[in-house]
Amino acid sequence: MSEFFTHILLQYNIPVELDIPLLNLCRNKPLSPDDVLTIIRTIPNDALDIIRGHSNASPPTESQTPKPVPITLDEIDSILQHRYVTSRKGEEVNDSKNKPGWKDYAWKSRQALRRLSSEFRDTFRLWKLNDLVDYIMTKRRCGHEWKATSAQTNLCHISTLLRLMTDEEKTKYGVDHDHLECIKEHELVCREIIAEVYEDQQLTPTEQELIIPQEELVSAVNQYASQNPITRINNRKEFVVARNVFIGRVHTEQPPRRLDVLKTKILNITDRDNYINWETGCLVLNDYKTKNIYGSYTMKLSDETLRIARLMRDFCMEQGRCHLMGCNDRITDYTPILQDAFETICGKRLSCNILRKMYIDHAWNEGSLKYAKERIQLATMMGHTVSTQQLIYTKRSPFEVPKKRPCEDEEDEEEELEERHAEVLASTSGSVEPTKRRMTESQKQIIKNAIEQWQKSDEYVGLVREGRKPVFSWKRLQSQFVNEFGNVSERTMQAYGRHHIAALRRLAR
């Protein structure tokens, strides 16, 4: 018998050794704390009096129940470090390179929760998880618009911690079933928003502000390199200039990778590190996002880029640094280094995501991605799939589309134009509306009214009384209002509906 179940029985003055079918069921089945409380509370008061053996006993009041306590960062470290073995998909996870003794995702979850605690003071008061979720779903990142991807990442880190906690720990820190459901519902909302943005294939306001033509970026890199000739590196200031030139050249001379190049090491190299083979002049990538799919990847550096890399290596070795970028082993985010470099070069704080979108957009406009073979080759060089290339990185360009690639045979010109039109229609034609639009206010109001009527129905009340979870029929709603929801997918309706149900629950509390 679990300690929690014994504690509940003692609170209700019920003998632990009592042999009745209901208590035997609770002992033998792996029930959650909420299930145990629900079962015991369904026992009539008269029956409880008989079970206790005296009629003057009463269930504990709210003032007698133990109050939850905030969880500490040390306790979070202990849970994540020692219990995280496999991912939610059941896959084995690798050890973190930046923090020995930790699994990779567990360390990321720990760091994310630590950052959240510095932004939201009630982060470690887990009984206020709903307030934390509301903060995550509304907070702006770095002064820019709210991003569903960032919110989903933070929700996943919180869910990871709760998944690893025991029932006793959840009771101690005030986590209940409603908190878990709230996080799951908002994770689903974020996924639906992300999918809708990907299907829409429109540039966000931040992307429109930052993105520039690829030709302008290449020209800015060459101009910066010519204005800052590098023959020797004597101090940190000269090293930063050389690093900017190296970063600019690597990300414009060939298809840009993610942040893989910035992780290059020059000392203490293992088979899991990125390094430069100085004899062949190749950059070998062993540490990147899709390594398990594509394996080790080799990039050939130009002679000028390799020369600058040698100068950077010599300076870093004199300073006792292990990384080519001049940073130490404790660094976990290389994005500021990349953004600082391009801000110096072209005045735009470009991230690797923006660089990849710019390059693929340039390739489409050039006409070099007309054929499947070309698209597969570029996707492999950039370390993602063709579907990712089409869905995520291919956006509707704010620039004019240049002339198309000339056809090799004039007789096939019309056929190739039709093929290009079918493939590029969703990414380059600014006049075409997406097939699935976001819901209007009238459609949202229909869903709200339908949910509120459903919660007042006899069917809903009966399921709640029986202890069963009511499930709303989205297909029935869509068929009932087929004219109003003809252009809205069932998945989008579910996302908004679950978000509204979660809001109603918070208001009810």
Q: Give pLDDT, residue 241.
A: 95
298, containing H or E segment: strand 297-300
C-alpha dist (Å) from residue 399 to 220, 353, 358, 434: 18, 18, 11, 19
Q: What crossing angle do the helices spanning 148-164 and 104-119 adopt, rounded to 10°?
A: 110
**How far is it, in rounded angstroms, from Cα 263 to Cα 246?**
13
CA atoms within 13 A on the CB side of 396: 17
Q: What crossing angle do the helices spanning 236-253 and 335-346 adopt, rounded to 10°?
A: 90
With the C-alpha atoms ordered 57, 58, 61, 66, is the resulting torsion angle positive or negative? positive
**How far is it, in rounded angstroms, from Cα 431 to Cα 105?**
42
Contact 242, 225 (CB under 8 A): no
Q: What is the 3-state secondary structure (H, E, C) of 246-287?
A: HHHHHHHHCCCCCCCHHHEECCCCCCCCEEEECCCCEEEECC
**How far is it, in rounded angstroms, from Cα 200 to Cα 396?**
9
Amino acid in the structure at residue 215: E
**How far is it, in rounded angstroms, from Cα 24 to Cα 43?**
14
**How far is it, in rounded angstroms, from Cα 170 to Cα 414?**
65
| Of 307, 267, 265, residue with least CA distance to 286 | 265
**How far is it, in rounded angstroms, from Cα 126 to Cα 345?**
45
**How far is it, in rounded angstroms, from Cα 262 to Cα 285?**
11
Contact 363, 349 (CB under 8 A): no
**How far is it, in rounded angstroms, from Cα 150 to Cα 339?**
18
**How far is it, in rounded angstroms, from Cα 256 to Cα 445?**
45
Q: Give pLDDT, residue 305.
A: 94
3-state secondary structure of 209: helix
Contact 361, 266 (CB under 8 A): no
For the chain of 509 residues, list the mean pLDDT of each consecutive stretch of 10: 55 53 53 59 54 46 68 90 72 66 82 87 86 83 71 89 90 87 85 73 78 92 94 93 95 91 89 91 90 87 94 92 83 85 93 90 84 85 82 57 38 42 39 44 77 79 74 68 62 65 57
Contact 210, 238 (CB under 8 A): no
Instruction: Say which residues have a Cβ less than 8 Å from residue 478's Cβ, sequence separation at least 6.
Output: 485, 488, 490, 493
Tell me which long-range contacts 439-443 makes (C-beta under 8 A, separation of at least 24): 439/488, 439/492, 439/493, 439/496, 442/484, 443/484, 443/485, 443/488
Model pTM? 0.56
